[in-house]
């Protein structure tokens, strides 16, 4: 009889323990969101349809979003997410955009009118400037989200390719003056 | 003085092939048509150009300045005109291009105004470091670590032993041997100077046993102040950690530097360059390069930095042949290049033309363990290989990938023809890149969260403001209405009273 009781007690204890680990509690969900967020490229571009990387991570946790909606992360991010979540790898959903090399925004300072619209759009505060003053992008902080491009009324922002060293930037479009000429 | 020597673990006895080049005196290479100076010829941050296309420069003039502490300037190796600043092929094991300054020599070879420093023994060690830095001197042994950084660490910590490394262990290369034979006075004086700069208690010049002429040349010049040591020939004896182990029986800790155990090491070429920089004011603009292998006249050359590899090979009667490979550096650690227009840089010690390229296909690892036996860093190359293939960076760290000195012993003995070091180099590069990206990502996340929090805060504040403003308005209105009502009531009351009184009258 006592053996039976002990077994029962064990069963109850194990059931309790298991129920703690099912990942349904808010704390577990937050933890999973953190893990997913850590794998996202932190571009904060919103191409996935959410306001930034963390909201997208939260949506994946809830099951609202799929893992193939992040164009800046590309296949690399999808693979890592699949590994974390124990799902199959799938190609990037083209509805959300195409994946490409990392770029940074560049403001043509001769054209900038100082409207502050790009500064409001930048999700990582990488643009400095003030009303009616020239603006500029801090290349080091720019994530290449391209969110500053549509608001610009004079189209003075272009995206430049970042080279492997990361120190310097190369021209993508020909809107820029080349290396300072004498 | 006799110093007890200690064997380092692993290593190989290789055929040296030094007889091809070490008996012939070096040749001063004629001016090439173009000088291509990469901005990154050293470990650390790339230099920053200070000249523009079209500028005229003189020999020894700074064309790019140091960018940060672990960086050195680049000097024009000859006088001429800057014709381009842009991306060119440079010595890189992955064949990538990098920014370079291109000079068209004018043939005058006119010197820039260079100033020698006064007698070095009376000069402040700090001043010597600055001179060495301004001269653009980096480790000429192969890694290209800025020399002034090592010196600075030397002045900040007590230095027990200064080792001048002349153990040229890699097969075929004899440029240090030739340099010692031809300019022994530079090396001994340079050693004394560096010793003064770091205030070392002992000073050792280490050579291998197969360099008797170099030993004799140095032996005439050294006094009791410098120990001249001959080491058994074994690859990689000239590796920094291996040489320290042999001479002192100490091991440099994993992830540490020799200075952490009180040792500073410089290559003989670096010592000679430092001597020239201090006593003559000449920056580092040329070096000894061994051009050897399957060539009619292999020999050592004194080459201006930035000279295309092809030009050097041409001096030795190079004729292009089908199926051969050009290797920059030695057969063990060198990199195979396809483009011979890339320049000789500060770290190029050898141009090797080799007909026998390892073209056998790689086969699966059979876990024979030969690579473990020969690894001088006491690593487990087969495990590193496995994890490098699966890009398991955490495991690679656990197995101390970054302690690998890329000596190539494992690749040499591998019966399955696996180019192990290639995988390690790639993995190292990827890990460094990954870390950099992770740091950038973390910064972006912080900035994004900070901004989101700020916007939320601002929105909440605005809401609050609105609430309180509208609240005040309603209060006022209420009061106004109440006051009006009260006034009306009072009026009515008055009226009533008046009516009543009139009624009663």
> Looking at CA atoms only, how far is residue A112 from chain B in angstroms?
24
Which neighbouring-strand residues pair with B428?
Answer: none
What is the phi-psi region of residue B188: left when phi exceeds 0, alpha when psi lies from -120 to 50, beta otherwise? alpha
Q: What share of chain A has pLDDT > 70, as a percent?
A: 77
Contacts of B443 in chain A (CB under 8 A): 141
Query: Do A179 and B452 count as a contact with CB atoms less than 8 A apart?
Result: no
Nearest CA-CA distance, residue B83 and chain A, Å: 12
State how far the Cα of A145 lies from the Cα of A159, in Å rounded to an integer. Answer: 10
Give dist(CA B316, CA B346) in Å, integer: 21
Residue with tokens 């100076």: B37
The CA distances from residue B120 to B54, B116, B152, B277, in Å, are 38, 10, 16, 11
Banded pLDDT at A181 (limits 50, 70, 90): very low
Contact B345, B136 (CB under 8 A): no
List CB contacts (< 8 A) between A180 and chain B: 52
The predicted pLDDT at position B255 comes to: 86
Residue ranges making up the domain that contains A134: 101-173
Residue B205, helix vs strand vs coil = strand
* Nearest chain B CA: its distance from A41 CA (Å): 6
Average pLDDT over residues A37-64: 92
State whether B228 and B375 are in the same domain. Answer: no
Cis peptide before B325 (omega within 30 of 0): no
pLDDT of residue A165: 44
Tokens of B316: 């030795």
- pLDDT given at position A163: 60
What pLDDT does residue B505 have?
55
Question: Higher pLDDT residue, A155 or A7?
Answer: A155
- pLDDT confidence band for A178 (50 / 70 / 90): very low
Domain assignment of residue B66, yes or no: no
Rounded to whole angstroms, the Cα distance separating B63 from B287 reads 18
Of B56, B28, B21, residue with least CA distance to B315:
B28
Q: Give CA–CA dist B30/B302, Å, rounded.
A: 9
Closest-CA distance, A134 to chain B, in angstroms, reads 22
Per DSSP, which regions of B227-346 are E strands?
227-231, 263-267, 286-293, 299-304, 325-328, 335-337
Phi/psi for A27 (5° steps) reads: -65, -40
- What is the reported pLDDT for B268? 94
- Interhelix angle for B212-219 vs B184-198, to 10°? 60
| A43: confidence class by pLDDT, cuts 50, 70, 90 | very high
For chain B, which residues score pLDDT lower than 50?
A: none
Asked if residue B371 and residue B343 are part of one domain, the reply reads no
* ipTM surpassing 0.90: no
CATH number (domain holding residue A30): 1.10.15.40
Per-residue model confidence (pLDDT) at position B97: 85
Is 70 exceeded by the pLDDT of residue A175?
A: no
Q: Are residues A53 and A111 in the same domain?
A: no
Q: Does A182 contact B443 at a Cβ distance shorter than 8 Å? A: no
Indicate whether A182 belongs to any domain: no
Residue B500 resides in a domain: no
| Chain B residues within 8 A of A141 when measuring between CB atoms | 443-444, 447
Flag whether residue B64 sits within 8 Å of chain A, measured between CB atoms. no
A166 touches chain B (CB under 8 A): yes
The parent domain of residue B221 ranges over 18-32+121-351
- pTM confidence score: 0.76
- Who among A143, A166, A180 is closest to B52 (CB)? A180
A1 touches chain B (CB under 8 A): no
Q: What is the pLDDT of residue B380?
A: 95
- Is residue B106 domain-resident? no
Residue A17 covered by a domain: no
- Comparing CB atoms, the residue among A37, A43, A124 nearest residue B451 is A124
A19: pLDDT strictly greater than 60: no
Q: Given this model, what pLDDT does residue A17 score?
A: 56
Number of domains into which chain B is organized: 2
| Same domain flag for B303 and B440 | no
Asked if A104 is an interface residue toward chain B (Cβ–Cβ < 8 A), one would say no
pLDDT at B356: 66
Smallest Cβ–Cβ distance between A141 and the set B40, B443, B449 belongs to B443
């Amino acid at each position: 009889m006592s053996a039976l009781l002990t077994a029962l007690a064990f069963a109850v204890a194990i059931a309790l323990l298991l129920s703690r680990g099912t990942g349904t509690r808010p704390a577990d969900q937050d933890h999973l969101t953190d893990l997913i967020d850590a794998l996202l490229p932190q571009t904060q571009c919103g191409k996935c349809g959410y306001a930034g990387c963390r909201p997208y991570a939260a949506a994946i946790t809830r099951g609202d979003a799929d893992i193939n909606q992040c164009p800046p992360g590309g296949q690399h991010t999808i693979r890592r997410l699949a590994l974390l979540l124990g799902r199959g790898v799938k190609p990037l959903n083209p509805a959300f955009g195409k994946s490409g090399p990392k770029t940074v925004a560049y403001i043509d300072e001769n054209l900038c009118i100082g409207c502050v619209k790009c500064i409001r759009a930048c999700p990582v505060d990488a643009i400095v400037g003030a009303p009616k003053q020239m603006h500029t992008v801090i290349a080091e902080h720019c994530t290449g989200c391209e969110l500053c491009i549509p608001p610009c009324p004079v189209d003075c922002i272009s995206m430049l390719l970042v080279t492997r060293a990361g120190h310097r930037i190369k021209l993508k479009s020909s809107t820029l003056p080349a290396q300072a000429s004498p | 003085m006799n110093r007890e020597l200690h064997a380092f673990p692993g290593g190989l006895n290789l055929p040296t092939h030094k007889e091809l080049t070490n008996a012939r005196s070096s040749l001063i290479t004629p001016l090439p048509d173009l000088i291509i100076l990469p901005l990154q010829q050293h470990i650390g941050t790339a230099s920053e150009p200070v000249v523009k296309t079209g500028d005229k420069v003189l020999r020894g003039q700074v064309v790019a300045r140091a960018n940060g502490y672990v960086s050195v300037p680049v000097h024009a190796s000859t006088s001429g005109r800057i014709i381009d600043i842009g991306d060119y092929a440079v010595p890189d094991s992955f064949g990538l291009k990098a920014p370079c300054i291109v000079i068209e020599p004018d043939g005058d070879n006119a010197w820039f105004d260079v100033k020698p420093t006064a007698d070095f023994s009376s000069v402040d060690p700090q001043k010597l470091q600055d001179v060495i830095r301004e001269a653009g001197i980096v480790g000429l042994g192969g890694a290209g670590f800025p020399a002034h950084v090592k010196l600075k660490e030397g002045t900040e910590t007590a230095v027990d032993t200064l080792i001048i490394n002349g153990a040229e262990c890699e097969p075929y290369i004899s440029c240090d041997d030739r340099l010692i034979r031809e300019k022994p006075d530079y090396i001994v004086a340079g050693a004394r100077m560096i010793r003064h700069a770091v205030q070392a208690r002992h000073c050792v010049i280490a050579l291998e046993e197969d360099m008797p002429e170099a030993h004799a040349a140095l032996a005439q010049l050294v006094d009791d102040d410098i120990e001249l040591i001959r080491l058994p020939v074994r690859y990689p004896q000239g590796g920094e950690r291996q040489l320290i182990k042999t001479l002192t029986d100490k091991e440099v800790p994993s992830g540490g530097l020799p200075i952490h155990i009180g040792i500073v090491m410089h290559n003989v070429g670096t010592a000679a360059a430092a001597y020239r920089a201090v006593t003559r004011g000449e920056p580092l603009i040329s070096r000894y390069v061994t051009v050897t292998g399957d060539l009619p006249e292999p020999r050592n050359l004194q080459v201006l930095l930035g000279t295309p590899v092809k030009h050097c090979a041409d001096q030795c009667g190079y004729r292009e042949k089908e199926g051969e490979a050009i290797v920059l550096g030695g057969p063990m650690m060198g990199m195979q290049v396809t483009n011979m227009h890339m320049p000789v840089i500060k770290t190029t010690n050898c141009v090797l033309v080799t007909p026998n390229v390892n073209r056998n296909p790689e086969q699966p690892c059979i876990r024979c363990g030969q690579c473990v036996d020969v690894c001088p860093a006491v690593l487990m190359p087969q495990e590193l290989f496995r994890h490098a293939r699966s890009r398991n960076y955490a495991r690679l760290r656990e197995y101390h990938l970054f302690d690998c000195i890329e000596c190539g012993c494992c690749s040499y003995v591998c019966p399955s023809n696996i180019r192990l070091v290639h995988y390690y180099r790639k993995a190292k590069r990827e890990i460094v890149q990954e870390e950099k990206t992770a740091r950038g990502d973390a910064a972006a996340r912080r900035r994004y969260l900070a901004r989101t929090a700020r916007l939320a805060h601002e929105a909440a504040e605005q809401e609050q403001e609105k609430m309180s403003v509208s609240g005040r308005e309603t209060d006022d209105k209420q009061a106004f209405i109440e006051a009006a009502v009260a006034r009306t009531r009072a009026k009515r009351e008055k009226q009533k009273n008046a009516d009543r009184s009139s009624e009663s009258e």
